[in-house]
């Protein structure tokens, strides 16, 4: 783990202190993540330290841990002001992936953006951007090219204002290339896509880089699986469906067969794409499953916690 101390120049290596190990044992979300502020206690006579504590996060992008069926979350980026969902305009745009990542972005507490990269490739980037804006209510949608520099100004503006911009998205979306363009140097290595268009996971670490004119950009490795952590609210992601739902005849309308359903009526008259409703249902179902996992773990923990704590304290007795 690398930590940039106050002067922002020296990098110290740091190991987890027992106190932090204890915290992580109780809740893996306490694992220090890129963007975290931590308390480091220096080790005398060495350029190393021990990370005692992770300070409370202002915002956090959390996904479900990769292990199938895990009820724990993993922090991808901490304390970002803007979470930019990066999606390449070429070879194609995956709307469902954008919606899924927006769920993480909205629930992070940061401002969600959609950044459509490689805008130099499609014939009509503006048409494509307008299409994506339909699935991203409330989030600015930018069409950018790291190659030509087009469309980067809104992000540069936020950075000049001191914001930290976290980039999340599939492998090969162009996150590291975008970071390099914003930072103005070759700080992250990038790599061409395979011929089949699938990314190769060039970036394997989460890194935060300071931008010379102010602000910081946080790069993350491309995500293959983006599991919802179970705490997201989809209301923001599907704001127009929420809006329609408030006009359904029944307050508990499931928008399936109910009479007087404003959502189904909107699908019927073509104002709401069926794909959008399907996507909402799919994420909602996934969310409910994950929330149930978290619930049953929390119940089990209430009974098991005392035991776990006893073990941890035996291993790392608190010094007086």
Ligand X SMILES: Nc1nc2c(ncn2[C@@H]2O[C@H](COP(=O)(O)OP(=O)(O)OP(=O)(O)O)[C@@H](O)[C@H]2O)c(=O)[nH]1
Binding site residues, Mg ion, CB under 5 A: 175-176, 202-203
Cβ-based nearer residue to ligand X, 6 or 124: 124
Out of 57, 118, 158, 255, the only residue in the binding site for ligand X (CB under 6 A) is: 118
Q: Segment contacting Zn ion (CB under 5 A): 135-143, 212-220, 222-230, 258-266?
A: 258-266
The entry of Zn ion, Mg ion, ligand X, none that residue 118 binds, CB within 5 to 8 Å by partner kind: ligand X
* Residues 155-194 close enough to bind ligand X by CB under 6 A: 169, 171-177, 190-193
The entry of ligand X, Mg ion, Zn ion, none that residue 279 binds, CB within 5 to 8 Å by partner kind: none
**128 binding ligand X? (CB under 6 A):** no
**117 binding ligand X? (CB under 6 A):** yes
Cβ pair 61, 109 in contact under 8 A: no
Q: Segment contacting ligand X (CB under 6 A): 23-31, 134-142, 197-205, 253-261?
A: 197-205
- Mind giving me the DSSP string for the chain? -EE--TTSS--EEEEE-HHHHHHHHH-GGGS--TT--EEEEEPTTSSEEEEEEEPPPS-EEEEE-SSTT---EEEEEES-SEEEEEEESSS---HHHHHHHHHHHHHTTSEEEEEEE-TTSSS-HHHHHHHHHTT-TTS-EEE--TTT-TT-HHHHHHHHTT-EEEEEE-TTSSHHHHHHHHHTS--S---PPPTTS-------S-EEEE-TTS-EEEE-PPPS-----S----TTTTHHHHHHHTTSSSTT--SSS-TT-HHHHHHHTTSS-HHHHHHHHHHHHHHHHHHHHHHHHHHHHHHHHHHHHHHHHHHSPPP-
Cβ-based nearer residue to ligand X, 158 or 206: 206
The entry of Zn ion, Mg ion, ligand X, none that residue 192 binds, CB within 5 to 8 Å by partner kind: ligand X
**255 binding Zn ion? (CB under 5 A):** yes
* Residues 218-257 close enough to bind ligand X by CB under 6 A: 221-222
Cβ-based nearer residue to ligand X, 22 or 118: 118
264: left (phi over 0), alpha (psi -120 to 50) or beta: alpha
Edge-to-edge strands, sheet with 141-143? 141-143, 111-117, 82-88, 164-169, 216-219, 207-210
Cβ-based nearer residue to ligand X, 165 or 272: 165
Out of 29, 168, 228, 253, the only residue in the binding site for Zn ion (CB under 5 A) is: 253
Cβ-based nearer residue to ligand X, 54 or 167: 167
Query: Strands 12-16 and 38-42: what pairing?
Result: unpaired
Tell me the sheet residues that pair with 143.
Answer: 116
**120 binding ligand X? (CB under 6 A):** yes
The entry of Zn ion, Mg ion, ligand X, none that residue 79 binds, CB within 5 to 8 Å by partner kind: none
**261 binding Zn ion? (CB under 5 A):** yes
**Minimal distance in Å, beta carbon 172 to Mg ion?**
8
**Minimal distance in Å, beta carbon 153 to ligand X?**
15
* Residues in touch with ligand X (CB under 6 A): 117-118, 120-121, 145-147, 169, 171-177, 190-193, 199, 201-203, 221-222
* Residues in touch with Zn ion (CB under 5 A): 248, 253, 255, 261, 263
């Amino acid at each position: 783990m690398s930590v940039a101390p106050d002067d922002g120049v020296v990098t110290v290596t740091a190991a987890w202190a027992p106190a932090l190990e204890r915290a992580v044992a109780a809740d893996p979300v306490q694992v220090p993540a890129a963007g975290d502020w931590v308390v480091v206690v220096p080790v005398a006579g060495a350029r190393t330290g021990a990370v005692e504590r992770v300070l409370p996060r202002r915002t956090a992008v959390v996904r479900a841990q990769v292990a199938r069926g895990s009820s724990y979350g993993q922090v991808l980026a901490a304390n970002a002001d803007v979470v930019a969902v990066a999606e390449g305009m070429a070879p194609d745009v995956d709307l469902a992936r954008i919606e899924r990542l927006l769920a993480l972005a909205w629930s992070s507490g940061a401002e969600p953006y959609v950044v459509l990269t490689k805008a130099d490739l499609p014939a009509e980037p503006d048409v494509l951007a307008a299409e994506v804006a339909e699935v991203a209510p409330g989030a600015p949608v930018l069409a950018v090219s790291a190659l030509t520099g087009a469309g980067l100004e809104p992000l540069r503006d936020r950075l000049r204002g001191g914001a930290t911009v976290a980039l999340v998205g599939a492998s090969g979306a162009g996150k590291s290339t975008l970071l390099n363009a914003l930072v103005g140097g070759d700080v992250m290595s990038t790599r061409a896509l395979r011929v089949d268009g699938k990314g190769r996971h060039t970036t394997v670490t989460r890194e935060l880089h300071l931008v010379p004119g102010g602000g910081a950009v946080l790069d993350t490795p491309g995500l293959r699986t983006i599991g919802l952590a179970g705490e997201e609210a989809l209301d923001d992601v599907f704001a127009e469906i929420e809006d329609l739902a408030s006009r359904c005849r029944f307050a508990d309308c499931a928008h399936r067969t109910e009479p007087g359903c404003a959502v189904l009526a909107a699908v019927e008259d073509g104002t709401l794409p069926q794909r959008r409703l399907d996507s909402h249902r799919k994420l909602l179902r996934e969310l409910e499953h994950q929330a149930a996992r978290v619930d049953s773990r929390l119940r089990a923990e209430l009974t098991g916690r005392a035991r776990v704590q006893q073990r941890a304290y035996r291993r790392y007795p608190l010094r007086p």
